[in-house]
Amino acid sequence: MKKEIISDAVIRRLPRYYRQLTELCARGVVRISSQALGQEMNITASQIRQDFSCFGEFGQQGYGYNVEELRAEIGHILGVDNGHHLIMIGVGNLGRALLRNFPFSQTGFSVEAAFDISPTVVGSSINGVPVYGMSELDGFVRSHDVDVVVLTIPQSVAQDTANRLIDLGVRGFWNFTNVELSSPGNDDVKFENIHFADSLLTLSYRIANR
């Protein structure tokens, strides 16, 4: 396996490959060529082979790729079989929507707990996930493996909460607060920011400039 620096563009495509391959599996497709896969995904066969070759040799000349095998390989690269643990901070509408509907386990994450300030939800449990008060956060993080924290809290407390968690050793954040979070000088803290507004604005641009 070549261990050079993988470009962000490639990494961003991996989940799409994984998604497509999962669908092909479901359809019962056993093998596929880069050509055929490219057709389905609207990208070139060249790019597919180039992308995969960053991680190893998953195909066979004259045959193509075994769908199930390739899916497993890419899943492995993405870390879906790493058994990552995750907690959620903020159980408002969005937090609840995710707890109820998002397929965390299919993505390789187990949701260990959720935290909120509201006495109305603290002590309850949402889709099997217990909701604790914020005062219990530090203790919980210290005594459990927490790989990723989902931030579904108001903007105003986003960076402070992130800082608190970084101090506790958390190194991954899935951030829905519409604030650009960062941890200057701490390169191994990873943020994945979801900016709903940015997304809608690009759509706005495209329908305005047709």
Interface ranges with DNA (CB under 7 A): 2, 7-10, 33-35, 43-47, 49-50, 52-53, 57-65
What whole-number distance in Å separates Cα of residue 81 and Cα of residue 72?
A: 9
| Residue 18 touches which of a second copy, DNA, none (Cβ within 5-8 Å per kind) | a second copy
Do the Cβ atoms of 147 and 85 come closer than 8 Å? yes
Two structure tokens written together for 81: 């079989």
| Residue 33 touches which of DNA, a second copy, none (Cβ within 5-8 Å per kind) | DNA
Instruction: Write the interaction track for a second copy spanning residues 106-145; mark x where CB under 8 A is met and - where it is not.
Output: xxxx------------------------------------
| Residue 93 touches which of DNA, a second copy, none (Cβ within 5-8 Å per kind) | a second copy
Specify the residue, 53 or 125, whose C-beta has the smaller distance to DNA: 53
What whole-number distance in Å separates Cα of residue 179 and Cα of residue 158?
A: 7
Do the Cβ atoms of 153 and 90 come closer than 8 Å? yes
Q: Residue 115's closest CA among 103, 99, 100, 101?
A: 99
Find the shortest distance in angstroms from Cβ 65 to DNA.
Answer: 6
The DSSP code for 86 is: E
CA quadruple 12, 17, 201, 190: dihedral positive or negative?
Answer: negative
Specify the residue, 102 or 132, whose C-beta has the smaller distance to a second copy: 102
SS3 state at 105: helix
Find the shortest distance in angstroms from Cβ 11 to DNA.
Answer: 10
Q: Which of 100, 125, 142, 156 binds a second copy (CB under 8 A)?
A: 100
What whole-number distance in Å separates Cα of residue 44 and Cα of residue 36?
A: 10
Applying CB under 8 A, which residues contact a second copy? 6, 11-12, 14-16, 18-19, 77-80, 82, 84, 92-94, 96-98, 100-103, 106-109, 147-148, 171-174, 180, 188, 190, 192, 194-210
